Amino acid sequence: MNDKRKQPEKPENTGVRINKYLASCGLCSRREADKMIEAGRVQVNGEVVTQMGTKIQPNDLVLVDDKPVDNNQEQIYLLYNKPRGLLCSRKDDKGRPLIYDHLDIPAHVQSVGRLDMDSEGLLLLTSNGEILQTLIAPKNKIPRKYKVKFTGSLSLESIEKLRNGGIDLGKGELSDPWDMSIDSDNGGHSWITVTIKRGRWREIRRTLDAVGHIVRRLIRVRFGPIKLEEGMPIGSWRNLSSKEVAALKRLHKDASK
């Protein structure tokens, strides 16, 4: 006779995936966590992690490079008004000046995306790897707004091309449509405000170059919900307000749905 009584369900494997856990601790992004795991640098309860899908339970002891990881440390969120002439990198083989030479912050605080050496303005930095990943992931289309000064004046044809997108940037890349307004035009140079949503390498410079104009200044004034306030001295930095941090967390929550 078959026993048709309902068998007890196995408990679900709750917990947080190891790469998400490491990112939430502010140690790195999820992608960087995967690389650490592949390199055998991560241990859980004394065992080297070999499965990317490993889940972390509340009482697990997690080590990276034999050092315990603390997920209870307070997260750091900063806004830096980056000057021109600095690299957004921890080190540079050519010995060029770095933003971290001017910022007294822990090593696990990372810039959210990058501004190239000749660009300036709003640069976010955080220890929260989850929010960092949300902001830079192309699929989330987080808007970045820039003030741009360039040589010459835009023709009506160029304005249409910039707004419609599809300009050949080389290496198989096409420009995205721009949300753009013209701020001033004196013949010798012009200022425009541009919003883009992917932040590809030197995207604005390459796009304007493709229609015959050279960028002279490039200033980021907004990234997602965070704005660079007028009058903030170049080279200064501050902690984000609780309201700004809450806005980033809401953005992350919405993007994760």
- Active centre residues (catalytic): 116
Distance CA 173, CA 102 (A): 35
Contact 173, 198 (CB under 8 A): no
Q: For residue 221, which of 148, 132, 142, 133 has the smallest C-alpha distance?
A: 148
Distance CA 53, CA 50 (A): 9
Secondary structure letter of residue 12 according to DSSP: P
Contact 179, 159 (CB under 8 A): no
Q: Spell out the residues 6+ positions from residue 166 whose beta carbon is closer than 8 angstroms to its own.
A: 174, 175
Contact 228, 221 (CB under 8 A): yes
Q: What are the CA-CA distances from residue 139 to residues 3, 5, 133, 198, 212 (Å)?
A: 50, 47, 11, 8, 30
Question: CA 191, 196, 201: angle at the middle one, nearest 5?
Answer: 95
**Amino acid in position 73:** Q
Distance CA 83, CA 158 (A): 30
* Tokens representing residue 186 in the block: 């004196």
